[in-house]
Amino acid sequence: MSEQEPVHGHGASREGDRTSVRADERRSPGELPSPDERTSLGDGPRSGDRAQYGVCAFLALLGALVIVDALSITPLTGSNDLIGPRSVPVLLGVALLVVAVVYGVDVARGGRGEPEAGEDVDLSTAMDWRTVLLLAGAFAANAVLIEPLGWVISGTVMFWGAAFALGNRHHVRGLMIAVVLSLVTFYVFAIGLGVNLPAGVLQGIL
**What is the tens place of the pLDDT at every residue in 90-117?**
899 999 999 999 998 888 888 776 655 5
Please tell me the pTM assigned to this model.
0.45
User: Could you tell me the end-to-end alpha-carbon distance of the chain, in angstroms, rounded to an integer?
Assistant: 108
| 113 closest CA partner among 58, 51, 59, 60 | 51
Taking phi over 0 as left and psi of -120 to 50 as alpha, with beta for the rest, 203 belongs to: beta
| 155 closest CA partner among 169, 170, 134, 138 | 138
Whole-number pLDDT of residue 177: 95
Whole-number pLDDT of residue 34: 53
DSSP state, 116? P
Whole-number pLDDT of residue 47: 47
Whole-number pLDDT of residue 118: 53
CB-based burial, 88-97: b 16+ in 10 Å, e otherwise: ebbeebeebb
The low-confidence residues of the chain, meaning pLDDT below 70, are 1-49, 76-84, 113-124
